[in-house]
Amino acid sequence: MQTNDYQNLHTGSVWKSLLIFALPIFLGMIFQTLYTVTDTIIIGQFAGKTALAAIESVFSLTRFPINFLLGSLLVPLLLFHSIMALKN
């Protein structure tokens, strides 16, 4: 007997599906932020102001595409679920 090991995002509560979908992304963003903060502390203590400015500029460049893509994917998903809920 085979079992399906995937989560169906088309059925059930929208918020539960959204949480299941977004939780790994959120955890990844937390780990990336912790890495950047740790890197900032170490570089700030040992390498100086120029190196610290480089780390901060890279942090902004890496966060922009992640946040843009996350917003671009979640807004249509929420709109789709809202429209489908109104049709039912």
Residue 68 belongs to some domain of the structure: yes
How many domains, the chain?
1
Question: 62 is in which domain, residue-wise?
Answer: 14-87
**Model-level pTM?**
0.49
Residue 6 belongs to some domain of the structure: no
Average per-residue pLDDT for the chain:
77
Identify the pLDDT of residue 10: 67
Report whether 81 contacts 14 (CB < 8 A).
Answer: yes
Going from the C-alpha of 37 to that of each of 32, 43, 46, the distances in angstroms are 9, 10, 14
Residue 78 or 28, more confident: 28
Sorted by sequence, the CB contacts under 8 Å of residue 62 that are 6+ apart come out as 32
Residue 4 belongs to some domain of the structure: no
Identify the pLDDT of residue 5: 59
